[in-house]
Amino acid sequence: MSIEVTKAGMQTSIQDLGRQGLMHQGIATSGAMDTLSMQVANKLIGNPTNHPVLEICLVGPTLKFTQAMSIVICGATFELTVVNNKGSQKMANNQLIQIQVGDKLVFGKRRQGARAYLAFAAKLAIPEVLNSYSTHFLAKFGGLNGRQLKTGDVIELTDCQSPSPASAYVTAPLARSKLLASPFSGKYLLRCTTSVETEQFTPQQLQQFYATKYTVSSASNRMGLRLEGSALTELPAQNMTSSGLLPGSIQVPPDGLPIVSSVDGQTIGGYPRIANVISADLFALGQLIAGDQINFIQVNIKQAHEMLDSQHTWLNRF
């Protein structure tokens, strides 16, 4: 029982909701960048929300299945095709896809967003490391041998839930929520609250930050998103001592261009933070691609918690 990687794609990796509670050992959480799409994929297939998935980034893989099983793909949209000796069939996101033995799933042209999440109705036959299946790229552990998938890799599975033959290729439109209708437009409004060093920025600098339309730089990755736009000048002194750096923190290094920390980011940082993206919006960081436009808007802690709460409620409806 396995999934064979016929073509690896740009950065395909095994991720779950990440490792919590180890940042004091220097261990970033890792895990899916877009935790919302990842959890919806698991929900649609009937898995626990923390079940490991494949995170597929920008250029998708081709996967061959040696076992019948159900899968669901959420998040970024690609041209999806299931190919076998009977021909080929187009597939879509947010639907149950019934895979038969020998089927190939081809991720073609990317349409919107950066990362797709493939959930499967099976268990991974690889060990958890530090309570998670997530791949930690820097320290090379977790996932499959601590790295992104390579062509020729075989992902061993157990407990596959095989569909009945009659239901082959019947796609069930499970997801009807408007919120799932391709929200990755390329223009984002990210909501923020204050951070540790916000007070060290002048009102003019804060005004400039919230008025600037930033562009996502190509030098962005799972550690952080680098932004381009009008640089902030006359920054606070950089001699502040390092402290705990949480995902979503927006640091301003000496060049004045913000960096938004993400799931693989360093756990302690030394640049002043102008703001933090709220928890309810962190999933969107996983869908940003070079050239996307971002504006930031400030909310208060109470509003941020209400937004997180309503997101949980929305997720629990599935």
In the complex, minimum distance from the CB of residue 245 to another protein, in angstroms, rounded to a whole number: 8
Among residues 1, 59, 174, 196, the one that binds another protein under rule CB under 8 A: 196
Q: Which is nearer to another protein, 102 or 244 (by Cβ)?
A: 244
Which residues are CB-neighbours of 25 under 8 A, at least 6 positions away? Answer: none
Q: Which is nearer to another protein, 98 or 205 (by Cβ)?
A: 205
199 binds another protein (CB under 8 A): yes
Burial of 244 (0-12, 13-18, 19+ CB in 10 A): exposed
Instruction: Please give the helix or strand (H or E) that residue 215 lies within, else none.
Output: strand 214-216
Among residues 10, 172, 179, 268, the one that binds another protein under rule CB under 8 A: 268
Among residues 189, 213, 255, 309, the one that binds another protein under rule CB under 8 A: 309
Q: Which is nearer to another protein, 150 or 312 (by Cβ)?
A: 312
141 binds another protein (CB under 8 A): yes
The answer to whether 119 touches 45, Cβ cutoff 8 Å, is yes
Among residues 2, 58, 305, 315, the one that binds another protein under rule CB under 8 A: 305
CA dist., res. 30 & res. 125, Å (int): 20
Site string for another protein, 27-46 (x = CB under 8 A): x-------------------
Residue type, position 298, single letter: Q
Q: Which of residues 117-136 bind another protein (CB under 8 A)?
A: 129-130, 136
Tell me which residue has tokens 């509003």.
Answer: 303
Using CB under 8 A, which of the segments 85-93, 111-119, 152-160, 298-306 binds another protein? 298-306
Q: Which is nearer to another protein, 7 or 305 (by Cβ)?
A: 305
> 3-state SS of 123-173?
EECCCCECCECCCECCCCECCECCECCCCCCEEEEECCCCCCHHHCCCCEC
Q: Which is nearer to another protein, 131 or 167 (by Cβ)?
A: 131
Site string for another protein, 46-75 (x = CB under 8 A): ------------------------------
Distances (CA, A) of 179 to 32, 138, 140, 168, 292: 19, 34, 35, 28, 20
- Residue 161 sits at φ, ψ, to 5 deg, of -95, 105
Site string for another protein, 201-240 (x = CB under 8 A): ----------------------------------------
Which residues are CB-neighbours of 100 under 8 A, at least 6 positions away? Answer: 65, 68, 84, 163, 168
Instruction: Please give the helix or strand (H or E) that residue 296 lies within, else none.
Output: strand 293-298
279 binds another protein (CB under 8 A): yes
Using CB under 8 A, which of the segments 23-31, 54-62, 75-83, 228-236 binds another protein? 23-31
Residue type, position 309, single letter: D
* Contact residues for another protein, defined by CB under 8 A: 20-21, 23-27, 129-130, 136, 138-141, 193-196, 198-199, 241-244, 246, 248-249, 266-268, 273, 276-279, 301, 304-305, 308-309, 312
